Amino acid sequence: MFARRHLLGALAGLSLAIPATAFAQPYPQKPITLVVPYAPGGATDIIGRVVAEEMSNGLGQRMVIENRAGAGGNVGAQAVARAAPDGYTLMLGALTSHSINMSFVAKPGFDLKKDFVPVGLAGNVGLALVVHPSVPAKTVPELIALIKASPADYSYASSGQGSPQHLSGELFNLKAGTKMPVVPYRGSGPAMTDMVAGQVKIMFDTIPAVLQHVKAGSLKAIATTGREASPFMPEAPTAISQGLDGFEVSSWFGLLAPAGTPQPVLDKLNTELNKALKSQKLKDALALQGVDPKPSTPAEATKLIDSEITKWGDLIKASGIKPE
């Protein structure tokens, strides 16, 4: 009897000496919810689905898409910000739009810097500056000269108040010293219809949205808006290369987790995200959406988010634009 009690006591002591982490199961042990804060069918949704499918293979668990649209992406962002920081609720964020909302919306309901921790970047979609063929300008300097000579004749179409497309026009005005008025539309589709018809002459939109019209000759590409030439529209020089210093706009996407998510979980997710982004299957799928994959570290993603928040916050303050 004594020997048995002695053995049980020794086993109990041994169990106390083993760190609790030794019993922890490796992440993930169940499906992961990937919140897309926009409606199904849009660019963010499609990007989220192809990324989730490829990451699921590496993680050994499914990433299940949950669309939580509303308030320009704020509803879904709020839900993820309040979720348990355990790696089982993530967000495919439209980082540029979320960064704009931090300054453009009085109460977005989340803080992009405090409530989230970046897993990594997914990629970006470049924008293009296009004009109706009736506009005689072929370069950015020529377009600026036309606008300054006759500002009442040149307005630009916006696909949504506070969108990257809208703020591209405001940034152009600031950098070029022009005063183009904005013509607001509820979406890129109606704006594009009027552009092709010549009812409005200038527009900034994503390269995938304008590419077919440029190829058909119904629109003319003056410039792309990235720091480097776009692989999807290589024939169009950047605005920066044409002398418009500091004019850089891309629509960035990235994977975010709630603040407080354990570092080992973030490391695992970052590894699998970057592995997925380097796969040819995912590259091909993203190319169909005009997305340039951008594998990164969490630190690089944090730096980009900080710069986006600062850039758009400064522009919104300087231009004085307000929500509708």
pLDDT by residue (tens digit) across 302-312?
A: 999 999 999 99
Longest C-alpha distance within the chain, in Å?
A: 103
Residues 267-294 have a mean pLDDT of: 95
Q: Scanning the structure block, which residue is given the tokens 């019993």?
A: 23
Residue 151: is the preceding peptide bond cis (ω within 30°)? no
- At 186, the pLDDT band (50, 70, 90 cuts) reads confident
What is the rounded CA–CA span in Å between residue 55 and residue 49? 10
Whether the per-residue pLDDT at 287 is higher than 50: the answer is yes
What is the rounded CA–CA span in Å between residue 52 and residue 94? 15
What is the rounded CA–CA span in Å between residue 217 and residue 220? 7
* Cα-based distances in Å from 108 to 41, 78, 195, 312: 24, 8, 32, 15
What is the rounded CA–CA span in Å between residue 235 and residue 223? 9
Q: What are phi and psi of 254, to 5 degrees?
A: -160, 165
Residues 196-202 have a mean pLDDT of: 96
pLDDT by residue (tens digit) across 88-114?
A: 999 999 999 999 999 998 888 999 999
pLDDT by residue (tens digit) across 4-23?
A: 444 444 444 444 444 444 44
Give which of 187, 188, 179 is closest to 319, Cα–Cα.
179
Q: What are phi and psi of 304, to 5 degrees?
A: -65, -45
